[in-house]
Amino acid sequence: MNMEKDCNKHINETILQKEFYSRNPKKVAYELLGKKIIRRFDNNILSGIIVETEAYYGDKDPASRAFKGRKTYNSMMWDEPGRLFIYNVHKYWMLNLVAHEVNSVGGVLIRSLEPLWGIEYMKMQRKVKNIYELTNGPGKLSVSFKITKELNGCFTTSQDGPLIIINKVLVQNYDKSKRIGIKKDLSDELRFFIKNNKFVSK
């Protein structure tokens, strides 16, 4: 498949490694904008550009899954940076990346993507025809990209992983805001998005 060859030929030299995620979640969340996600399963390859993220911290962050301390369902946030952390909200699996400094806790939620490859498959998954409705929100993109609990704990830093993130140029035309749907939030603005991108969540 030509698409697969095009996908694989750059992976070794451009896949984001552990060092990228081993930093303050806020910095990781901003610098993930413009990076490319590649999702592989069975004979399918899906791809999209990250256009919206949110950063989360540990037990001092009231909006974080880690707020009430380490439990079975959230233990991945304490784990090695660069792994996937998948949890369920209102029947949808949320796509998160473990990201934190040494001896810390944190993660980044991928809120929206701009779809690139596999768009027809995404339309079948979401049962919609409008391309702007495929991945403009964390629940929508999880359906389109077949994000399931089986991905929890998988490394994004491995060439053979089911989901990897490819490095791209740093996005300069971004904006930030408070995180969406949060009742008790931190004072920092921890939601980042590419300005004027039509795939950012509403």
What pLDDT digit, counting tens, does each position of 119-171 carry? Answer: 999 999 999 999 999 999 999 999 999 999 999 999 999 999 999 999 987 88
Say if CB 123 and CB 129 are below 8 A apart. Answer: yes
Single pTM value for the model: 0.92
Q: Which CATH number fits domain 2-169: 3.40.50.2300, 1.10.3720.10, 3.40.50.11890, 3.10.300.10?
A: 3.10.300.10
Hey, where are the domains in the chain?
2-169
Which residue, chain included where needed, has tokens 């993109």?
141
* Cβ count within 10 A of residue 152: 16
Say if CB 191 and CB 111 are below 8 A apart. Answer: yes
Which residue, chain included where needed, has tokens 């998005």?
193
What are the helix (H) ranges across 73-189?
Answer: 119-126, 138-144
What pLDDT sits at residue 6?
A: 52
What pLDDT digit, counting tens, does each position of 43-58 carry? Answer: 899 999 999 999 999 9
Where residue 10 falls among pLDDT bands split at 50, 70, 90? very low
Say if CB 55 and CB 185 are below 8 A apart. Answer: no
Is the confidence at residue 202, as pLDDT, over 90? no
